Amino acid sequence: MRFTATKIFSIEPIGDIAFIFNKRSRRKGKQILVSDVDILPNTNMTLDEDTYKALMKAMKEKGSDLLTDGTNFYTTFGQVIGQINHPQFRIELELHRELF
């Protein structure tokens, strides 16, 4: 059986995290190798076009590839959003809470 469901998120980009594929990246800010990130594949959800564009705009303005809802961490894989984990993410969340 296959079905489509809708889930409402309240997420925002945090930190200045850039996911990189090798150590010679020119991106600024904190860099985390994609190979060091734990991806939870059962959490992947497809985004509609408008949501994807708004999310990418917010991520670009903040300069971060990392999203959070205050508890879990997410990123985009094309037009899909999925949950991810890395020890640095909790540190970024604590820094983010101190700013507000």
5 occurs within a structural domain: no
Instruction: Name the residue range of residue 45's domain.
Output: 12-99
6 occurs within a structural domain: no
The predicted pLDDT at position 99 comes to 59
57 occurs within a structural domain: yes
Domain count, the chain: 1
87 occurs within a structural domain: yes
| 68 neighbors 81 (Cβ within 8 angstroms) | no
16 occurs within a structural domain: yes
61 occurs within a structural domain: yes
Give the DSSP per-residue string, 40-76: EEEEEEEPPHHHHHHHHHHHHHHT-S-EESSSSEEEE
Low-confidence ranges of the chain (pLDDT < 50): none
7 occurs within a structural domain: no
94 occurs within a structural domain: yes
pTM for this predicted structure: 0.85
